[in-house]
Amino acid sequence: MEFFAALKARHSIRVYIDTPVEAEKLEQILEAVNQAPSAGNLQAFEVYLVTRADQRKALAAAALGQDFLAQAPVVLIFCTHEARSEKKYGKRGVELYCLQDATIACTYAMLAASALGLSTVWVGAFNEEAVSCSVNLPEALRPVAMLPIGYAAEEPRTRPRRSMTEIFHWI
């Protein structure tokens, strides 16, 4: 799909059909993630791919009962790796850059999925400890975003946006 069409086609989806994501499409999404920019090119994040039904169910519980996490065939967990960024950037690496690295990576995954005709929703509301426990994340990692990926079972809805003049400040 053409880039701007993929941007337009993307809407958060919270109901998924029971169809797996093709391995080739998943690979393309992961390759897109690995193209994302990062501070100092350190890529201070790790991504966990969760396909096991019992683990997806545990993630849904850790995300305050957002059951679509159990429904979607794949869930990506984006984690910051603070130490990777800290080595070069100290406090700013820990507090800002690794978070930006991980969330840009998640954005790339989201847009790549959209370009491939797949649906997602960014999930930020979760108990970090419970997510870590659900999939046994190493202690050095902090989960900061989850992204269920699958085929939509609901009509996409366009949500309103703030006006351009309110957001952009030409100075």
Footprint on this chain of ligand FMN (rule: CB under 6 A): 11-12, 14, 66, 121-125, 159
Secondary structure in 3-state letters for the chain:
CCHHHHHHHCCECCCECCCCCCHHHHHHHHHHHCCCCCHHHCCCEEEEEECCHHHHHHHHHHCCCCCHHHHCCEEEEEEEEHHHHHHHHHHHHHHHHHHHHHHHHHHHHHHHHHHCCCEECCECCCCHHHHHHHHCCCCCEEEEEEEEEECECCCCCCCCCCCHHHHCCCC
* Residue placing its CB nearer to ligand FMN in the complex, 40 or 154: 154
Distance of alpha carbon 45 from alpha carbon 144, whole angstroms: 10
* Residue placing its CB nearer to ligand FMN in the complex, 40 or 122: 122
* Residue placing its CB nearer to ligand FMN in the complex, 21 or 144: 144
Residue nearest to ligand FMN (CB): 124
* CB 12 to ligand FMN: min, Å: 4
* Residue placing its CB nearer to ligand FMN in the complex, 71 or 86: 71
* CB 131 to ligand FMN: min, Å: 12
* CB 40 to ligand FMN: min, Å: 24
* Residue placing its CB nearer to ligand FMN in the complex, 26 or 144: 144
Tokens of 55: 């683990």
* CB 23 to ligand FMN: min, Å: 26
* CB 11 to ligand FMN: min, Å: 4
